[in-house]
């Protein structure tokens, strides 16, 4: 006679919030490994990124979403649609807010979007370590949910340097999951194809280096990935911009800017892959790609 298999619980949890409140940082902290791009700039995340945390009997599938905002172009509309799609298909929701500041119009937009959801909601006040008046801030954010009938939990933490509270949050979220078999094998932290993941790392480094509005007119894609017999990963990629003038800005004088972007991205890739990496990057121009539906599809925004 064999022992019965243990009961497992699994489910999907959306991470939502306005741009630049630390959603991707929280996801990476919950997983204990980096799967989502981060930078000090808003709108670093453009696609829903799924991160998977698996233990013996539970599997949490986190969906990191783009920052909900008032869109200015077709790309922005796509990003908002990613949020709506995520919310329609999850078992619970995390709303991340920045405790350093009172609610903005964008926070109110998020609150209106999630207030009527019948799913369990956890309000996470992030950047607690840098907040002067965290209690007052969390009171203001909680007030935006007035009238909500679903289960609501409030947590304050710093996703970047508060691992104990992050793990407590993860445990409380696991308790919300329904009884279910696992959705994914327990061997990985994300279901992203490696090409998408590598392209996002390159875009993250580009966003860190580029100034003003240019980062928002930049897309990235991997065009080829081969592995040599000696283990070297040879990756060819493109940085896509909208104007010829932008191309020169990305490349920089004597190719210095592009070299710095490539070097930083290569170092990240080598750490995650535990392999030597050759990274070749070309900069190409697709005029007005953020408003071009065909170009958006080619770049993976569909």
Report the candidate in 296, 26, 165, 132 with the shortest Cα–Cα distance to residue 35. 26
Enumerate helices (H) and strands (E) in the chain, giving the number of each: 9, 9
The answer to whether the annotation marks 128 as part of a ligand binding site is yes
The answer to whether the annotation marks 121 as part of a ligand binding site is no
The answer to whether the annotation marks 19 as part of a ligand binding site is yes
The answer to whether the annotation marks 25 as part of a ligand binding site is no
Question: Which CB contacts under 8 angstroms, 24+ apart, belong to 222-227?
Answer: 222/195, 222/196, 222/198, 225/194, 225/195, 225/198
The answer to whether the annotation marks 18 as part of a ligand binding site is yes
The answer to whether the annotation marks 65 as part of a ligand binding site is yes
The answer to whether the annotation marks 232 as part of a ligand binding site is no
Give the separation between CA 229 and CA 55, rounded to whole angstroms: 34
The answer to whether the annotation marks 39 as part of a ligand binding site is no
The answer to whether the annotation marks 126 as part of a ligand binding site is yes
Handedness of CA 128, 131, 135, 138 (dihedral sign): negative
The answer to whether the annotation marks 22 as part of a ligand binding site is yes
The answer to whether the annotation marks 56 as part of a ligand binding site is no
Residue 282 forms beta bridges with which residues? 238
CB crowding 177-207: b at 16 or more within 10 Å, else e: beeeeeeeeeeebbebeebbbbbbbbbbbbb
The answer to whether the annotation marks 161 as part of a ligand binding site is no
The answer to whether the annotation marks 68 as part of a ligand binding site is yes
- Residues annotated in a binding site: 17-24, 64-68, 126-129
- Residues annotated in a binding site for GTP: 17-24, 64-68, 126-129
């Amino acid at each position: 006679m064999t022992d019965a298999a243990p009961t497992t619980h699994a489910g999907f949890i959306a991470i939502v919030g306005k741009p630049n409140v630390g959603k991707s940082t929280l996801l990476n902290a919950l997983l204990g490994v980096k799967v989502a791009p981060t930078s000090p700039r808003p709108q670093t995340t453009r696609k829903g990124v799924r991160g998977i945390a698996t233990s013996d009997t539970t599997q949490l599938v986190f969906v990191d979403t783009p920052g909900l905002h008032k869109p200015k172009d077709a790309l922005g509309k796509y990003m908002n649609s990613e949020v709506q799609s995520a919310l329609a298909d999850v078992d619970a929701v995390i709303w991340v807010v920045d405790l350093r500041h009172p609610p903005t119009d964008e926070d109110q937009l998020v609150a209106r979007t999630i207030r009527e959801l019948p799913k369990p909601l956890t309000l996470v006040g992030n950047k607690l370590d840098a907040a002067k008046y965290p209690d007052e801030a969390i009171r203001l954010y909680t007030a935006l949910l007035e009238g909500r009938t679903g289960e609501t939990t409030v947590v304050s933490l710093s996703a970047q340097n508060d691992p104990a509270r992050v793990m407590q949050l993860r445990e409380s979220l696991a308790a919300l999951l329904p009884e279910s078999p696992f959705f994914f094998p327990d061997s990985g932290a994300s279901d992203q194809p490696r090409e998408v993941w590598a392209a996002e790392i390159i875009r993250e480094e580009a966003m860190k280096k580029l100034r003003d509005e240019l980062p928002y007119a930049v897309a990235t894609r991997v065009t080829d990935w081969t592995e040599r017999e000696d283990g070297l990963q040879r990756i060819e990629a493109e940085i896509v911009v909208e104007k010829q003038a932008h191309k020169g800005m990305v490349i920089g004088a004597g190719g210095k800017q592009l070299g710095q972007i490539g070097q930083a991205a290569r170092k990240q890739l080598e750490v995650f892959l535990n392999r030597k990496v050759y990274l070749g990057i070309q900069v190409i121009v697709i005029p007005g790609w953020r408003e071009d539906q065909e170009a958006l599809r080619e770049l993976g925004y569909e």
